[in-house]
Amino acid sequence: MSWTDERVETLKRMWIEGQSASQIAKELGGVTRNAVIGKVHRLGLSNRAGSEADEPEATAAPEPAPAPRPEPVRAEPVREAEPAPAPRAAPAPIPVRKAIIPAGQPLPPQPSANEISPEALASVREVEKRARRLTLMELTERTCKWPIGDPATEDFWFCGLPSTAGKPYCEAHVGVAFQPMSARRDRRR
């Protein structure tokens, strides 16, 4: 669909008469309400002031065309005067998401402090004293990836000691993370 001079004149006439964009689109055919609204704005007809405004728009069609040009100039200082993005510049803390387990699925085994033997806890505490305290970016395939602390704070780090072959953790953290099947079965009873 193209905007011929005849279709534009029909659009202007109906718009000045106060017809809605939907009514104009239906009358013209092959055009949507949004296309009519867009054309009205491009023609500078968006204000319906009544019969007094009808005559200047009909007689001086070239005048509305320059009118939209100053509007963006006026709009730019308004955008500059709105320093709304400033709060966005400050980095927001990243929320820690817990894994979502679908309903009906068993929860993965997660030992609590009561289930871990005191010897294992003592071993872990000793290991954490000599840990390398790495950041996420410093971890490699050969470093222990056991997280220590609250991820939402600056005092969060990873163990970083040499990891056990085939495991993501050092020997002490493997003892806490991976438990034999029989030990898990005994706890369930």
Do 163 and 170 touch, CB atoms closer than 8 A?
yes
In terms of residue numbers, what domain contains 47?
A: 5-81
Phi first, then psi, for residue 105 (nearest 5°) are -90, 140
Residues 66, 128 share a domain: no
pTM as predicted: 0.36
pLDDT in tens, 179-189: 776 655 666 65
pLDDT in tens, 105-134: 676 665 554 456 677 777 778 888 888 889
Of 59, 81, 103, the position where a domain reaches its end is 81
Of 31, 63, 81, the position where a domain reaches its end is 81
Non-local (6+) Cβ contacts of 90 within 8 A are none
- CA–CA separation, 144 and 150 (whole Å): 17
Number of domains present in the structure of the chain: 2
